[in-house]
Amino acid sequence: MVAEALAKPLRRRMLSGRQRVRMESTMSDLELKDIQGLVVRGYGSLEAACYIPLQIQDGEAARHWLVTLADQITNADTRPTHTALNVAFTHAGLVDLGLDAETLASFPNEFSEGMTSERSRLVLGDHGENAPEKWVWGGPNTPPVQILLICFAVDEPTLETFSGSLSRGFSGVAQIGETLTTILLRDPQTGYSKEHFGFRDAISEPLIEGLGKSGPPATTVKAGEFILGYPNEYDLLTERPTVRVERDSQGLLPDDPSESGVRDLGRNGSYLVFRQLHQDVGRFWQFQDDATKDAVGNSDPEAQVRLAAKMVGRWPSGAPLVRAADQDNPELGQENDFGYHDTDPLGRRCPLGAHIRRTNPRDSLDPNLGPQKTLAINKRHRILRRGRPYGDPVSASMQIEDIMSADRSGDRGLHFICFNANIGRQFEFVQQTWINNPKFAGLYEDTDPLIGDRDPRGIMHANVFTEQAMPARRRVTDLPQYVFVRGGAYFFMPGIRTLRYLGSLKALP
């Protein structure tokens, strides 16, 4: 109910003004050659990746550089096997590239204000240890990132050569801060990707309708939820930035389908949310140990893994708790075709507040609405995750028993990246209404057990994790924080025509 109630004002806002266009289904042929590749694929075969933060030093030279860069951008129509390159801009970057004020004003507020505004901090729960003042990039105490180069390569040496040659070609732009490096954590036994706590990751993603991949209807989502210019789950075009026709004298941009005499700057673009999330692996497993010791203080490794799995909603192999409630079953590691409404409405298999149940409640938001209505609402709050871990793993084996006992000092975590067409209705909604909501699904003082704000708005404690069970629920209290925000920003990843348009801008008088 909470989701539906909160979705309504957002929906009204989304439908207002000149963006209010009902779309024909023929609009949905995806222009893959104009969409940047990362929006539609995670480049899993390109094992090495890094993100290079840039600042604009000379607008004119930077625009020329962009025109050359546009020729090197990997589009969604190709499946790169050697290297791939994508690029995205913050609002400050678009300003310094010379976009005029009227065009800038057509971007949504969430993007224009950025991730560190007072509003965003409240919505995202970025205070205390997570306050932007403490960030290593993207915060008020570090130089603003304006452009992000996203580089992939088949291996580390190739990535080094590739990023090196890109840097040598910089003109009008300069790197600020460190390159953000990544690591692909694979389980050596199965080859599957893992994250630092030891759980299999990158299993559940929405399938973009029209891309040709088939999957369960419940996971197939309209392209307009992720890519601007296509019908979304309301069968409408998502709010998008536009440009007056006279400001596109070379005719680089497509007409806006609203026929309102403007050009569509957003078409084939998407919003990229970046959060650098440090993971304190030691504290995570220490807590599982402390919370599961028996009456005389003996550790119980099995109980630790079980509690951690209840928090995630999947076992370390990836097997979903809703299908494997009592013990891990690696055969179900890839399973993603499930809901909660029929099999687990009360959360006795997968707790109501588990990470995957909060971030994608599937068909179980509100039992009174029924699964179909719930699924339809849920599809308006999906995100496409494209991030990668960073920092050395605590154990190269990536086996839970080794991770639990290894020396866990060091900086490691997740470069969380996700795409969405509407930051407010998708990423921010998930973060505020599901992850950080102590009252989610009828709970009382629980936020997401992995990444939730333990002190929402600094006015209440929400550090409990509840396992619904018979005859009585079990509550684990005093959850510490073990995921910390270290940086972040909202970016716009334009379509490739728009990239050329940005390169063609003239200096503002």
Which residues contact ligand N7H (rule: CB under 6 A)? 195, 197, 199, 201-204, 275, 277, 279, 312, 314, 355-356, 359-360, 383, 413-414, 416, 427, 430-431, 435, 450-451, 483
Q: Which is nearer to ligand N7H, 231 or 488 (CB)?
A: 488
Q: Least distance in Å: CB of 427 to ligand N7H?
A: 6
For residues 95 and 435, which CB has a smaller minimum distance to ligand N7H in the complex? Answer: 435
Q: Which residues contact 450 (CB under 8 A, 6 or more apart)?
A: 197, 311, 312, 355, 482, 483
CB of 223 to ligand N7H, least distance (A): 18
What phi, psi does 169 have (nearest 5°)?
-90, 0
Residue number with CB closer to ligand N7H (150 or 277): 277
Name which of 267 and 358 has its Cβ closer to ligand N7H: 358
Rounded Cα–Cα distance for residues 85 and 69 (Å): 9
Closest approach of ligand N7H to the CB of residue 177, in Å = 21
Dihedral Cα 328, 334, 340, 343, nearest 10 deg: -60
Smallest gap from residue 324 Cβ to ligand N7H (A): 14
Please answer whether residues 156 and 48 qualify as being in contact, where contact means their C-beta atoms are separated by less than 8 angstroms: yes
Residues near 356 by beta carbon (within 8 Å), at least 6 away in sequence: 204, 312, 313, 314, 320, 350
For residues 199 and 491, which CB has a smaller minimum distance to ligand N7H in the complex? 199
SS3 413: strand
| 276/466 with CB nearer ligand N7H | 276
C-alpha 326: how far from chain center:
30
Of 205 and 256, the one with the shorter C-beta distance to ligand N7H is: 205
Tokens of 319: 């097997």
One-letter-per-residue 3-state SS of 427-452? HHHHHHHHHCCCCHHHCCCECCCCCC
Q: How far is CA 282 from CA 31, 113, 120, 303, in A?
A: 46, 35, 29, 17
Comparing CB distances to ligand N7H, the nearer of 274 and 492 is: 274
Q: How far is the CB of 234 from ligand N7H (least distance, A)?
A: 20
- According to DSSP, the β-strands at 220-221 and 207-208 are parallel
CB 60 within 8 A of CB 255: no
Give the residue from 229, 217, 232, 205 showing the smallest Cα distance to 425.
232
Closest-approach residue to ligand N7H (CB): 204
> At closest approach, how far in Å is the CB of 229 from ligand N7H?
24
Q: Where are the alpha helices (DSSP H) in 100-152?
A: 101-105, 109-113, 118-124
The distance of closest approach from Cβ of residue 433 to ligand N7H in the complex, given in angstroms and rounded to an integer, is: 11
Q: In Å, how far are 147, 203, 204, 228, 442 from 333, measured between CA atoms?
A: 37, 8, 11, 33, 29
CB of 413 to ligand N7H, least distance (A): 6
The nearest distance, CB 282 to ligand N7H, in angstroms, is 14
Q: Which is nearer to ligand N7H, 247 or 275 (CB)?
A: 275
Amino acid in the structure at residue 60: E
**Closest separation between CB of residue 278 and ligand N7H, Å?**
8
**DSSP β-bridge partners for residue 388:** 415
End-to-end CA distance of the chain: 51
